[in-house]
Amino acid sequence: MKTINVRELRSVIPRLAQTLAEEEELLLVSNGQAIARILPAVERPRLESMQWLRDMVGQEVPDSTPMIREERDRR
């Protein structure tokens, strides 16, 4: 991990991808305080299709009123 200040960051930006490949992580400091970590982007795997859920939501939902009344009557 390399520590750089804002001024140094401006000079690194044109070759940021190369710098991250070499350092893996940059710590950005301002007035001696760490303010950000710069990491290479990681591609996330795509989620599987949720079509089954969309199809289920489209179905008619039964009325729960009778079940609630029965439950209240039992108490």
Please answer whether residues 2 and 26 qualify as being in contact, where contact means their C-beta atoms are separated by less than 8 angstroms: yes
- The count of domains in the chain is 1
Domain membership of residue 67 (yes or no) is no
Tell me the sheet residues that pair with 28: 4, 36
Contact partners, residue 39, CB within 8 Å, separation at least 6: 20, 24, 25
Domain membership of residue 73 (yes or no) is no
Tell me the per-residue pLDDT of 17-69, one tens digit each, with 9 for 90 and over. 999 989 999 999 999 899 999 998 888 777 787 777 777 777 666 778 888 99
Structural domain containing residue 19:
1-40
CATH code of 36's domain: 3.40.1620
Domain membership of residue 32 (yes or no) is yes
Domain membership of residue 46 (yes or no) is no
Amino acid at 38: I
What pTM was estimated for this model as a whole?
0.53
Domain membership of residue 74 (yes or no) is no
